[in-house]
Structure 1
Amino acid sequence: METTIIEELKEEAEEKFKKIDIYKIFAYFLVCGFIGWIFETLAVWITLGELTDRGYLFVMGPLKDYIGFFANIPILDSIPLVWGLPIIEMYGFGGVIMILLFRHLKDHKAKIFVYGAILMTLFELGSSYFCTMVLHHSYWDYKQEFLNFQGRICLRSSIAWGALSIVAIEFLMPRLDNLYRHIRARKNFKIIIAVLIIYTIICAATKYIIDPTIIAN
């Protein structure tokens, strides 16, 4: 009897896995990562009064330092070299996790808030340990925040995750689903997504492996 139940659950899991649209998931990742980049950039700007490099958007020195040709052009010689993607992967992964796990809770805001706050706080905690132990770098510090744990998580962040979970499920998910239905039919859509996936991997490798100092935060 137990074997039969386990086999049924296994078959159900395999069937759900086969239905996963990797292109849709990555589209979710990009949109949520971009929204997170806007949110965090504005939050830091309002708090500190300055714009900072965040996520995978790399703002480097003047173009003339990399391409000598621009040194002879008065206006362009001072323009910085900007490349990468305006996304923060924490929000990208977070958005995907929220939408995949909580979409069935639509219209149950209290549950979404509580589950989202708990799960995403644990996700943030695990990500923090990964960054310090594997990447040997700390990308955020909540030590000055009320009710924090080792500066890795805090109450304010948990509340924000809960609120973002509601926004993701109640507001963002249906619009993303509708947008995806339109764009997936476009010519070369899968090729474009594949290129973006490769480029994102390059950006991540640059930030975390090739040059961990490319962004100070």
Structure 2
Amino acid sequence: MYHYTAIQWIFFFYFYCFFGWCFESTYVSLKSRKLVNRGFCRGPFLPLYGSGAIMMLVVSMPFQDNLVLVYIAGCIGATVLEYVTGVTMEALFKVRYWDYSKNKFNFQGHICLGSSLAWGGLTILMTEFIHKPIEHLVLSIPDSILTPVTLVLTALIGADFALSFKAALDLRDVLE
């Protein structure tokens, strides 16, 4: 079972937001052969990755001793998160940030079976391999350092999110 303070959970969220931004921006940049800053926010973080990582940790907690159940929980949890995020962002901003319409067994283009199955595997990868060294690192940081760093990140990320949200609403108004 994971036993973290609220500050540690928040820091994990920010870490995985940054990790997700690095991963996706690198992948898309290499694929398009030019530098691409991926994501909703302006800064180097993708909240969907942070949310996904935290969700994977939370839904897998009761099943840590059973990889099959970790897999199933990851499939379901991530698919629900992806669907709700996709529908919400499209409703708010009138823009689709991803589209699975061309994939087999998709639902409204927001989710598809292939991705859902992959989320289960990624949940196992996350809980068994990725998170353990990150957990060790974060737990080794004294609270006297982790707390102020997390609070500063909260202010910076909150301001970036607010500005990005406003810009997305402005873009929506232009598109309408």
TM over 0.5: yes
Matched, 1:191 2:148: yes
The change in CA–CA distance for 1:179 and 1:125 in structure 2 (over 3 A counts) is same
Matched, 1:100 2:84: no
Q: Pairwise CA RMSD of aligned residues?
A: 2.2
How far the C-alpha of 1:100 sits from its partner, in A, is 2.1
Aligned to 2:157: 200
Give me the whole-angstrom Cα distance separating, in 1, the residues matched to 2:82 and 2:132.
25
Aligned to 1:41: 25
The change in CA–CA distance for 1:176 and 1:36 in structure 2 (over 3 A counts) is same
Aligned to 1:22: 6
The structure that is helix-richer by fraction is 2
Matched, 1:53 2:37: yes
Q: How many residues align?
A: 167
Amino acid at match of 2:73: Y
Equivalent residues of 1:41, 1:52 under 8 A apart: yes
Unaligned runs of 5+ in 2: 172-176
Equivalent residues of 2:41, 2:164 under 8 A apart: no
Amino acid at match of 1:94: G
Per the normalisation by structure 2, the TM-score is 0.82
How far the C-alpha of 1:132 sits from its partner, in A, is 1.6
The change in CA–CA distance for 1:177 and 1:164 in structure 2 (over 3 A counts) is same
How far the C-alpha of 1:56 sits from its partner, in A, is 5.6
Larger Rg: 1
Give me the whole-angstrom Cα distance separating, in 2, the residues matched to 1:116 and 1:164.
8
Amino acid at match of 1:139: Y
Give me the whole-angstrom Cα distance separating, in 1, the residues matched to 2:165 and 2:140.
34
Give me the whole-angstrom Cα distance separating, in 1, the residues matched to 2:50 and 2:82.
12
Aligned to 2:140: 182
The change in CA–CA distance for 1:34 and 1:131 in structure 2 (over 3 A counts) is same
Give me the whole-angstrom Cα distance separating, in 2, the residues matched to 1:162 and 1:178.
23
Identical residues among aligned pairs (%): 28
How far the C-alpha of 1:144 sits from its partner, in A, is 2.3
Aligned to 2:174: none
Between 1 and 2, higher relative CO (CA 8 Å, sep ≥ 6) is seen in 2
Unaligned runs of 5+ in 1: 1-18, 59-83
How far the C-alpha of 1:52 sits from its partner, in A, is 1.9
Please give the secondary structure, in 2, of the residue aligned with 1:27: helix
Task: Indicate the larger mover: 49-58 or 169-178.
Answer: 49-58
